[in-house]
Amino acid sequence: MRNATGEVQNVLVLGGRSEIGLAIARRLITPATRHVVLACRRPDDADAALAALARPGLEVRAVAFDAAATAAHRRFVDGLVDEIGDIDVAIVAFGLLGDQESIDDDPDRAVPIAHVNYTGAVSATLHVARRMRAARHGRIVVLSSVAGERVRRSNFVYGSTKAGLDGFAQGLADAVVADGVGVTIVRPGFVHSRMTAGLKAAPFATTPDAVAECTIAGIRRGRRIVWAPSVLRWVFMVLRHLPTPIWRRLPLG
């Protein structure tokens, strides 16, 4: 739980090798932070992430977590809280991008993307929220995407999962606020990262560190939705309302 001055003591990153998730976690760490838990499918591959967060007196560890294994999420969250105490901040940062052309050729490839990005995220986040509501404090940071604000044809399976996750997170924010729990929804644009390596960058492309800076600033200002970069808020105020024939002709995919 937070200490007497409100500093974060326990941080959970679901998707513990996510570059954005790690960048946010790094900015949350203070001398009061006791535990940072990186939950990922392959904890043995998290050495670099662990080293980047290491601080004297801070326990940073990677633990096994499978977003697709929804039946295990309750046990995972409850076991972690019982061991380290209340989670002050949970960052929901896992996801699969996929390739739309490959999905068009083999629709079965859409299933794990939909399951992990939406079903897995809903399951894990609700279990975290359940424990935060019982403790009557905590913040959940949900990494959404502008891809879900108006879904593009070039990645409509991925975009649709982010649209669903974004809507879920907005509803969750309304449901938990009376219990002292906050939800911050982060909508990055194109982010230069391992996930997007080799892809053509979209306008207003950004970096994990820049997204993290926007996120922390948004949390401090009490924002429910954070655009990264912030200019995308105004861009999508226009794009959201474009007539479909014009939207389809834009070179956005």
Which domains, ranges and CATH numbers included, belong to the chain?
10-249 (3.40.50.720)
Higher pLDDT, 24 or 251: 24
Whether the predicted pLDDT of 60 surpasses 80:
yes
Q: Mean pLDDT over residues 79-98, rounded?
A: 96
Whether the predicted pLDDT of 252 surpasses 70:
no
Whether the predicted pLDDT of 184 surpasses 60:
yes
Any bridge partners for residue 182, and if so which? 139
Q: What is the mean pLDDT of the chain?
A: 92
* Res 4: pLDDT: 39
pLDDT band at 197 (very low <50, low <70, confident <90, very high): low
- In degrees rounded to 5, what are phi and psi of residue 153? -65, -25
Residues classed as catalytic? 158
* Res 2: pLDDT: 52
Q: In sequence order, which ranges of the chain are alpha helices (DSSP H)?
A: 19-28, 47-53, 73-84, 100-105, 110-114, 121-135, 156-176, 208-220, 231-239, 244-249
* Res 241: pLDDT: 85
Whether the predicted pLDDT of 3 surpasses 50:
no
3-state secondary structure of 67: coil
Please tell me the distance from the alpha carbon of residue 246 to that of residue 96, in angstroms, as a whole number. 29
Q: Tell me the angle at which helices 156-176 and 121-135 cross, rounded to the nearest 10 degrees.
A: 10
Whether the predicted pLDDT of 5 surpasses 70:
no
Please tell me the distance from the alpha carbon of residue 33 to that of residue 168, in angstroms, as a whole number. 29
Q: Mean pLDDT over residues 73-78, rounded?
A: 98
3-state secondary structure of 205: coil
3-state secondary structure of 136: coil
List all residues 6 or more positions away from 216 whose beta carbon is below 8 Å from its beta carbon. 24, 27, 28
Whether the predicted pLDDT of 108 surpasses 90:
yes
pLDDT band at 123 (very low <50, low <70, confident <90, very high): very high
pLDDT band at 196 (very low <50, low <70, confident <90, very high): confident
How many CB atoms neighbour CB 122 within 10 A? 18
Q: Mean pLDDT over residues 6-34, rounded?
A: 94
- In degrees rounded to 5, what are phi and psi of residue 215? -65, -50
* Res 145: pLDDT: 94
* Res 206: pLDDT: 84
DSSP category for residue 120: I
Q: What is the pLDDT of residues 202-243, one digit of tens each?
A: 777 889 999 999 999 999 999 999 999 999 999 888 888 888
